[in-house]
Amino acid sequence: MRSIVVVYGLPEKYATSIRLKKLLGDTKDKNIRTRQIIPIEWEGSIVKKVSIILRNIIAVLDPRFEVDILYVSAPLIASSIPGIIAKLLKKTLLVVDWDDAFVDFRKKKPRPWEISFWEYLAIKFADKVVVVSPELKKIALHLGKNRDDVIYVPNGIDMEISKQKYGEEREKMRKKLGIRDDEIVVGFVGRISRRKNTFVGKELVDCAGQLKTSNMLEYFRFLIIGFGEGLETLKRYAEEKGVSNKFIFTGYVEHSEIPFYISAMDICVVPVGKKFTDTVRSSFKLKEFIAMGKPVITVHYGSFSYETRNGKFAVLIDDNSELPNVLLTLDAKILRKKAVSGRKFIRTYYSWEYLKDKLVEFLNS
């Protein structure tokens, strides 16, 4: 029996941790036994974060635990640093899960004092690398990894999401949220982060502003599900643009409850920027939207284009500024066709069970 220790870099509510839990939290393979090291919290002072990293290091070096494989998250230092140290001191087989990246290592090698340096080292020291996008696979190969030691395992979906019928829940949720029957609900789900000079959701407020200018906003409602340091900024921006009455901000919602909120939506959007980090991610919500039979609008690049098979299962736009025009010109028949075919495709190739089996086979090879 092989023992796998999974080192989480963030608490369980975060997307990265949800991914690790789905892939390795409960494997059916009798030849694999997993143990989870999960921090209770991460937010706080530098001292608190250092203490979390130290606790994880002590845990992976504990001589009482026999470990065959150490499975860590590349971009999160509370996970990658313990993994690197265990690799160096105990010669433990290191498998790195690369689900996000902020620096293109083909163009820039990070310096030792930069946070991304640990991500870079994790990839370099890894015996095997699991990537969420084709672009990250290219970078891993560029860094010297053998093709047989790199596998593409994107973020997936729970099959229950696609099996359930949400007709009754949709009606209840729309009533709960105060949405009129004749309003077209444009929905977004995700972490509301904030960066320099921008924040997640800005393009949706801008879209509402343009719809208002063209006297079409009265037919729409925007449902924003998510939390993060940019949420209050997003709310203020909606007020400044004079469209806050057309927005519903739910804040944090338990992962298991999100499908009920999605059921209230008519069109789901996955607006994405054009920064490097935006193009290498694998979206949870993109697949969940499609699995629930919802029409989806997203961008025509990165994994978003790849996971929708170049627009076969979603409406793709080259830039987020195209969103207002697309909302006003969508063809209902085309949307239904994409939604029906997409639902079957996602259920076949992006279920967590399918991806878990694929990963376990890779780890056993």
Query: Using 50, 70 and 90 to split pLDDT, how confident is the model at 191?
Result: confident
The amino acid at residue 72 is V
Instruction: Summarize pLDDT for 75-124 with one digit per residue, the tens.
Output: 999 999 999 999 999 999 999 999 999 999 999 999 999 999 999 999 99
Q: Sign of dihedral through CA atoms 261, 184, 188, 334? A: positive
Average pLDDT, the chain: 91
CB 217 within 8 A of CB 208: yes
Instruction: Summarize pLDDT for 51-63 with one digit per residue, the tens.
Output: 999 999 999 998 8
What is the predicted pLDDT for the residue at 1? 64
Residue 312 pLDDT exceeds 70? yes
In percent, how much of the chain has pLDDT > 70? 98
What is the predicted pLDDT for the residue at 127? 98
Instruction: Summarize pLDDT for 194-224 with one digit per residue, the tens.
Output: 877 788 899 999 999 999 999 999 999 999 9
CA 143-89-12 angle, to 5 degrees, is 70
What is the predicted pLDDT for the residue at 183? 95
What is the predicted pLDDT for the residue at 275? 84
Residue 154 pLDDT exceeds 70? yes
Structural domains in the chain plus CATH codes: 2-156+352-364 (3.40.50.2000), 159-349 (3.40.50.2000)
Strand duo 150-152 + 128-131: pairing: parallel
Residue 70 pLDDT exceeds 70? yes
Instruction: Summarize pLDDT for 234-283 with one digit per residue, the tens.
Output: 999 999 999 999 999 999 998 889 999 999 999 999 988 888 988 899 98
Rg over CA atoms, the chain:
21
In percent, how much of the chain has pLDDT > 90? 65
